[in-house]
Structure 1
Amino acid sequence: MDDKLTTVLWFDGAAEEAARFYAATFPDSRVDGVFYAPADFPGGEKGDALTVSFTLLGRQYSGLNGGPDFKPNESVSFMVLTDDQEETDRYWNAIVGNDGQESACGWCKDKWGFSWQITPRTLMGALSAGGDEARRAFEAMMPMRKIDVAAIDAARRGS
């Protein structure tokens, strides 16, 4: 690890599985290394994967198999900006289709409890434009689960 800052994600024994899923789902992602415990530890045994170093969309992370004491929650999420409906569908369907859960307004949760915002750039563009364009796009987004790019684009145009 050459970076000075690495985000550590807490898992209950599934850090390697999650890192491999993320690496297979997102571009510029890979598992960089697995450190196996040299002795028993809270939540695991000697020889279990203790930490997993991985790159997700070009950013460095470490997964820690720390046991069941701490769970992810919605106060922290991953926002993935997408260029079109195909990319939005691909990421959304991968997460939800792998025992994840749909939520509202482009949010979903993976099987390990981490929250994801699969967000088309057109939505961010509309919101940053402000005024009526932002209001129309926001109102169109509110009832959605997975974001419908064509509906957001239509709302941006006022049609």
Structure 2
Amino acid sequence: MDNSIYPCLTLKGKITEAADFYIDTFGEGKIGQTSPYVIQIQLSGQKIMLLNDGPTSTPNPAISFMVTSEAAEDTEKYWNALIKGGKSMMALDKYEWSPKYGWVEDKYGVSWQLYTGSKSDTPQKFSPTYMFTGDQAGNAAEAIEFYTHVFPNSSIQGVMKYSKEDHDNINFIKHAQFRLNGFVSMAMDSSFDHGFHFNDAISIVVECDNQQEIDAYWTQLTTNGGQEVACGWLKDKYGLSWQIIPKALGKLLKDPVRAQRVMGALMQMKKLIIVDLENA
């Protein structure tokens, strides 16, 4: 797996216990890079970054993670672990689209859609799912088109609209699956007032090989209503948060003494400049 695109969860002061919790819950996991700022874990070969500081917002269901299992027993096992200290968003049950499905928010506020189905349809175990709701409702199709044009090796794999029986806008997307540089992502619209929207507690990290790549993603994602934030972070025109970082950043932060200098330089930047980080 390429792993150049992956999610980041801001869980202040809880990243060590959360890393252990997620590895215990899902299995097939290990801790990768660690620093005072982040712990990077791998679950079923996929990277997830846990961030110790940064945004003041907290996770909400506008971004959830679809977890695909072929065995209903695995889905149930994950549910039983995640529901402890968490809450049910949709009951673990049989639905028309899955023999065993449930939507649960864990004790850290992170939402998981636990789905039993064929891995031939979704070979990736964990897929971020973006809910376009509130003032973004109805923008899912446009956003998918936009993202698949920004990233190379991208494709739209399937789009399902609401039916009249779903009691939502029949022009809106009920479920869509697409790939960004091979990374499977999903999206949906919801016209109901959920009281939440995209925030920076969950962001999508894009590791870049060189400055040219950073510049290209930064320009495309901040234009037409996007916003530069700080330290390699930006918000796109839909409110989704991205971290556009050099692939070598982890190595630069490995040595504690150098890491302080690198972080000092990084904190002064909006778009990251690789040569300035290397010279810090």
Match of 1:89 among 184, 201, 215: 215
Supply the AA of the counterpart residue of 1:56.
L
Q: What are the superposed Cα offsets for residues 39-70 of structure 1, whole Å, 9 maximum, x if unpaired?
A: 1755x422433322111231222111013533
More strand by share: 2
Say which SS state the counterpart of residue 22 (structure 1) adopts. Answer: helix
TM-score (norm 2): 0.51
Q: What are the superposed Cα offsets for residues 6-62 of structure 1, whole Å, 9 maximum, x if unpaired?
A: 3211012111111111111112221112112221755x4224333221112312221
Supply the AA of the counterpart residue of 2:148.
A
Supply the AA of the counterpart residue of 2:179.
T
| 8 Å Cα contact 2:223-2:237 kept in structure 1 | no
Match of 1:66 among 178, 182, 190: 190
Displacement of 1:5 in angstroms is 4.0
1:7-156 superposed matches below 5 A: 7-11=128-132, 12-39=137-164, 41=166, 44-67=168-191, 68-69=193-194, 70-128=196-254, 130-155=255-280
- Distance in 1, matches of 2:250 and 2:234, equals 17
| 8 Å Cα contact 2:231-2:271 kept in structure 1 | yes
- Distance in 2, matches of 1:113 and 1:33, equals 23
| 8 Å Cα contact 2:211-2:274 kept in structure 1 | yes
Aligned pairs, how many?
153
Question: Which residue of the partner structure matches residue 6 of structure 1?
Answer: 127
- Distance in 1, matches of 2:261 and 2:138, equals 44
* Aligned structure 1 segments of 4 or more residues deviating by more than 4 angstroms: none
Supply the AA of the counterpart residue of 1:64.
M
